[in-house]
Amino acid sequence: MKLRFCVLTVLIICMASSFAFADQAALTALTKTMPGLVAHYPLEGDYKDVGGKAIDGAQVGDAGAFGWTDGANGGKAVTIDSAQFAGSFVEMPAPIGSPFDTATATFIVWTKLDAREGWQAICERDNLWYLETEAKPAEWQNNAVVWRIYDPVAVGGGGSDQMRDNANVAIENDKWYQLAWTYDGAVLKGFINGKQVITKDYVGGLGPVAGTPDPPPAGKGTNYNLSLGTWQQRDDWFKGAIDDFACFSSVLTEAQIQALYDAMMASASPVSSKDKAATVWGAVKSN
């Protein structure tokens, strides 16, 4: 009887674990099938890259700025409060010459914002591009999403200028959203929850290129690393949670980005879980 109870307990714990992380397993598996995967950071309690190149990230700054919370749909997500602990963020090494140097790209990240007026710096590659939000209560509700590619030679300025969406989907605080952008060398596209919401013609290119200064000019940061929770000049910060950050050298289609959204949000049905539990219990009783 004691052995039967122990076996049942272990099986139930394993099933609960599978249920809790079903979204993460499905998302990671699907992400690995997408073309041009450079790096994928599930943020399951660490900053490891599971994309195959092992370009792991690390915390920078005050340890008090970081924590872990429930992910977008199971699993974990990192919390960053660089608004309070300025100079604190998560950094992935991306010097010139790294696998992140691609002329075309897709970047996808999940975020949940705490209420904060002004800019929220979600992710960027210092001086080359950023993805942020801006809350401006006097002009619009909730948070506008802002995408930008900088001039790859005169870094930290020019480029595509801001591509801002506060009309299609102004994202609410304390809710998870998938944010993404693609660039094919001619058009910058922005996506929210798997749906394309905005486009902008831009032929200026995505750096670094042959003329990109290395190191960056004075006042433009010290490197070209990827960051979560900061902006390249270190004065747009972040307060909230970030989950599953993925980088591709290819231009994913809207259908592929939607499929990654669906994989994250999918979960096992209650009926299926109940049936599995009954099957396991029956098997244990028969032994």
Q: Within a domain: residue 223?
A: yes
> Could you tell me which residue, 165 or 276, shows the higher pLDDT?
165
Angle between the N-to-C axes of helices 270-285 and 2-20, in degrees from 0 to 180, rounded to the nearest 10: 160
Q: What is the CATH number of the domain that holds 231?
A: 2.60.120.200
287 belongs to a structural domain: no
Whether residue 273 is predicted with pLDDT greater than 80 in this model: the reply is: no
Residue 86 in any domain: the answer is yes
**Summary mean pLDDT of the chain:** 86
Residue 274 lies in a domain: no
Q: Which of 94, 13, 92 is nearest to 50 (CA)?
A: 92
Enumerate residues 6+ apart whose C-beta is below 8 A from 148.
129, 130, 159, 160, 161, 162, 163
pLDDT bin (cut points 50, 70, 90) of residue 9 is very low
281 within domain boundaries: no
Least Cα distance to 189 among 252, 135, 112 occurs for 252
pLDDT at 282 over 60: no
* Number of neighbouring beta carbons within 10 Å of residue 177: 20
Task: Sheet with 129-135: list strands edge to edge.
Answer: 58-60, 89-92, 226-228, 118-125, 129-135, 143-149, 163-165
Residue 87 lies in a domain: yes
User: Which pLDDT tens digit goes with each residue over 57-80?
Assistant: 999 999 999 999 999 998 999 999
DSSP at 63: G
Any domain includes 130: yes
Beta strands in the chain, from DSSP E residues, in sequence order = 37-41, 58-60, 66-70, 76-81, 89-92, 105-113, 118-125, 129-135, 143-149, 163-165, 176-183, 187-192, 195-201, 226-228, 239-248
* Residue-level pLDDT at 222: 86
pLDDT classification of 283: cutoffs 50, 70, 90: very low
Domain count, the chain: 1
At 223-240, the pLDDT tens digits run 999 999 998 666 789 999
For the whole model, what pTM was predicted? 0.86
10 domain-assigned: no
| Tokens coding 269 | 């049905």
Confidence of residue 23 (pLDDT cuts 50, 70, 90): low
pLDDT, tens digit, for every residue of 125-176? 988 999 999 999 888 889 999 999 999 999 989 999 999 987 667 799 999 9
User: What is the domain extent for residue 179?
Assistant: 25-267
Cα 55 to Cα 51: distance, rounded to the nearest angstrom: 8
